[in-house]
Chain A
Amino acid sequence: MIRMSAVVLAALCSFAVSAMAQEKIKIEKIMFGSGGMIAVFDEKGGKKGELPKEAFPSVPFDAADYNRNTRSVKVNAGGQEVWLSPFQVQVSAKAQVLTECQTAQRVSGTTFSSRGASECK
């Protein structure tokens, strides 16, 4: 019975791990600049040029890669792989950890006004 439970538990865990690994980052919105153009970058953040709105798939779509350190996203656009600045996109990425302070505050809600005020980051 114990062996059976362990096997089931292991299977569930591996399923969860693989589901997490397969979780794709979705790009929900791209903020194009004036004239419908957007600056694109290489992996190290160097500017590669600009691409028009038409070069991108319509949102939402899966990012080719996501850098959790810089929050930059890689996309396939105009037949090439380019990186977008975190300030130009809205993504569906979920963070891994919430601090106790954040959790407590989000449960208790804001205290001053409706401005989403927060005491902890």
Chain B
Amino acid sequence: MPLRGAKGTFETARRAWQGFIACLFLQCTGWRRLGDRLLKLSFVPALIVSAAVFNPLDISGSSGRTSLDAYRRIATSVYPDKGQKKIVVVQIDDTSLAVNGESYPPSFDFYARLIQKLKDAGAESILLDLMIIDRNRPGEPGGLDRLVSAIADFPVFMTVARSSQQDDSGCATAGRQNVEDLRLAVKGEPHPLIRDGASHVDLFPDSYCGSPRLSAALAVYNEYCGRSEACQGSRNDPLVNPDAFRNMTLTIEWGRVWPAGAEAVHPDHRRLAAECPDGSLLDKAGNFLRTLMPFESGVLSNAPADCRYHPVIRAEWLTAPESATGVDGKALADLLAGRIVVVGAMFSGVQDVGPSPVFGIVPGMFLHAMAIDNLIVRGAGFMKEWSKLGLGDLDLSVLVELAAMALVALAARRIGIWLAPRTLLSAVAWTLLLMAAGSLVGLAFSTWLVWLTGLEPVNWIGVAVAGAAVAGPARIVLAKRFEELRVLEAQEKSQSNGGNA
């Protein structure tokens, strides 16, 4: 009995569905046409919005990152050198340890000697981007006390070491931290807070892992501003204008030109100065063209791998000057005087690296140096991330991108109708050309928007490509072909119906 009842219900539902379909075909033709039109008009924008919201295969993210990196590479040509003249990077690596007769981890006395040398040379402040977590180290007894003495009463900042233990919420609270004596001795222990593939820095998140956190970049900039008459008390001073820095994310801008003056320090630097980007008109044009080339890796393909934006000093030049052949001691001291010194390490097996759009993968201290540089150069007007919309990864730039995409699509459609290509091949070629032209216009528009708002560039590549693809000549030709096929099919159907009758 129950089976018969279910069968009856199913039959009723089937009849109702058939009736609905028949109504659609016979009685509701007008509505169906309208529905068709609406569907046609709204399908492509709906597809684009859905792609932006659901972001399958990270299509929006990858074209967004490419847009950002390409913009940052091109913008290096006009990036001011004010910060470059204020920052020096000191690099420690396995060679530094070998020259000093040290092994990993280095002794406290090695660091103490290095810091003392930096102070003697007149460094303004020091950021140690190091992890000094082990109290038990090789070296003479009392080394830690000597390091603490070297640090005390000098503006030394040390980035927070990564913790290996987490509490219930997953927040790192304990574990591998910097040696307590050093944590107490340094002026501040800020956090790296570098994220998104090293493209952004959270300057001062109010609530990060349970407490407000100060980034290394802002801590060092704050120190700089307190010593700079031009900065102190101005709108660029974080103490006077805290809202410009609290809960703000800095998008790292890059420079690429070799630091003038650094070549006097060492013969290697003289060689690099001759081979690294020099900021000439030819160099800028080459950089622009290479950036727009397809399949460009993002690395300075025509320059040595050692090219850097900030002057780099090897630690052993300071800690073991007797073995540093060719180093000009006076030029070295001149380079350090009055500068912010970022000290970092690159030991084999202890990787602390991040990607840069200009120099490829670089050690972490160069990321910190560039973020500090951005703050010195731009002050409160540093390049910022767009505000979030509260819908996943979406931010307000998506609205601008959708509007720009509609404009590009409109222009592409007009141009497509005007060109009226006959073959699909020529239509595809015109579409590709429109995509390239649209990208250049998008880059110009994006640059204007960055200048106007101080916000990072929108996804100009995605806008141009999607806009030209959804309404360009290729799409028009394809639509025509489909329409012709539909008409042909309808004719064949009516002929076959007539034959049957």
Chain A residues packing against B (C-beta within 8 Å): 29, 31-34, 39, 41, 45, 47, 70-71, 85-88, 90-98, 102-108, 112-119, 121
* A116 to B210 CA separation, bound complex (whole angstroms): 15
The verdict on B101 contacting chain A, using a C-beta distance below 8 Å, is: no
Q: Is the interface of A mostly helix, strand, loop or mixed?
A: loop
Could you say which residues of chain A place their CB within 8 Å of the CB of B242?
Answer: 45, 70, 85-87
Q: Across the interface, do A87 and B196 meet the contact criterion of CB distance under 8 Å?
A: no
Q: Across the interface, do A121 and B238 meet the contact criterion of CB distance under 8 Å?
A: no
Q: A87-B242, A114-B162, A116-B191 are in contact. List 19 more A-B contacts (CB 8 A).
A: A31-B187, A39-B239, A47-B239, A85-B242, A86-B212, A86-B246, A87-B204, A87-B214, A88-B239, A92-B211, A93-B211, A93-B212, A103-B169, A106-B171, A107-B170, A115-B195, A116-B162, A117-B198, A121-B208
CB contact under 8 A between A115 and B202, given known A88-B239, A93-B211:
no
B495 to chain A, nearest CB (A): 60
Could you say which residues of chain A place their CB within 8 Å of the CB of B240?
Answer: 47
* A41 to B367 CA separation, bound complex (whole angstroms): 33
Of A70, A95, A97, A117, which one neighbours B196 at CB under 8 angstroms?
Answer: A117
Could you say which residues of chain B place their CB within 8 Å of the CB of A113?
Answer: 198, 351-354, 364
Q: Across the interface, do A97 and B207 meet the contact criterion of CB distance under 8 Å?
A: yes
Of B166, B187, B194, which one neighbours A117 at CB under 8 angstroms?
Answer: B194
Of B198, B211, B353, which one neighbours A94 at CB under 8 angstroms?
Answer: B211
* A87 to B137 CA separation, bound complex (whole angstroms): 33
* A115 to B239 CA separation, bound complex (whole angstroms): 27
Residues in B182-209 with C-beta less than 8 Å from chain A: 187-189, 191-198, 202, 204-209
Q: Across the interface, do A90 and B188 meet the contact criterion of CB distance under 8 Å?
A: yes
* A79 to B127 CA separation, bound complex (whole angstroms): 34
The verdict on B7 contacting chain A, using a C-beta distance below 8 Å, is: no
Chain B residues packing against A (C-beta within 8 Å): 155, 160, 162, 166, 169-172, 187-189, 191-198, 202, 204-212, 214, 218-219, 222-223, 226-227, 238-240, 242, 245-247, 249, 351-354, 364, 367
* A29 to B166 CA separation, bound complex (whole angstroms): 23
Residue of B nearest to A46 (CB): B240
* A45 to B162 CA separation, bound complex (whole angstroms): 33
* A93 to B210 CA separation, bound complex (whole angstroms): 7
Q: Across the interface, do A107 and B212 meet the contact criterion of CB distance under 8 Å?
A: no
Q: Is the interface of B mostly helix, strand, loop or mixed?
A: loop
B247 to chain A, nearest CB (A): 8
* A85 to B249 CA separation, bound complex (whole angstroms): 19
Residue of B nearest to A99 (CB): B207
Could you say which residues of chain A place their CB within 8 Å of the CB of B206?
Answer: 71, 95
Could you say which residues of chain B place their CB within 8 Å of the CB of A90?
Answer: 188-189, 214
* A116 to B131 CA separation, bound complex (whole angstroms): 13
Residue of A nearest to B202 (CB): A121
A104 to chain B, nearest CB (A): 8
Q: Across the interface, do A29 and B189 meet the contact criterion of CB distance under 8 Å?
A: yes
Q: Across the interface, do A115 and B194 meet the contact criterion of CB distance under 8 Å?
A: yes
Could you say which residues of chain B place their CB within 8 Å of the CB of A98?
Answer: 169, 171, 207, 209-210
B377 to chain A, nearest CB (A): 19
Give 20 CB contacts A-B under 8 Å: A31-B188, A31-B222, A47-B239, A85-B242, A86-B214, A87-B214, A87-B219, A87-B245, A93-B212, A95-B206, A95-B210, A107-B166, A107-B170, A113-B198, A113-B351, A115-B192, A115-B352, A115-B367, A117-B196, A118-B195
Residue of A nearest to B239 (CB): A85
